[in-house]
């Protein structure tokens, strides 16, 4: 069975930079353009992603490590 949300690696492997949430989606083999969003949340008000605990955990780790390097 084909996963309809698999990343388009021909595109993503050429991207010089990606947002933290895009990196997390790619790490979970999800096309960033196919990430599910929670309509009741905005990006600035909290976590707008509706992809489950693993996605949220990975995003927290990425954000924490990114802020430690700046």
Q: What is the largest CA-CA distance in the chain?
A: 42
Q: Which residues contact 46 (CB under 8 A, 6 or more apart)?
A: none
pLDDT value at position 1? Answer: 45
What mean pLDDT do residues 33-59 have?
84
What mean pLDDT do residues 23-30 have?
97
pTM, 2 dp? 0.82
Q: How far apart are CA 32 and CA 5, in angstroms?
A: 8
pLDDT value at position 43? Answer: 60
Beta bridge partners of 49: 37
What mean pLDDT do residues 22-44 have?
88
Query: What does each C-alpha distance from 62 to 11, 20, 31, 56 come to in angstroms?
Result: 22, 7, 18, 10
Where are the alpha helices (H) located in 1-70, listed in sequence order?
Answer: 9-12, 20-27, 53-68
**pLDDT classification of 40: cutoffs 50, 70, 90:** confident
């Amino acid at each position: 069975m084909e996963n309809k949300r698999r990343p388009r690696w021909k595109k993503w492997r050429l991207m010089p930079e990606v947002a933290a949430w895009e990196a997390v989606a790619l790490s979970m083999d999800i096309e960033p353009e196919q990430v599910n969003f929670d309509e009741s949340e905005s990006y600035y008000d909290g976590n707008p992603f509706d992809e489950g605990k693993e996605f949220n955990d990975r995003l927290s780790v990425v954000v924490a490590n990114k802020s430690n390097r700046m």
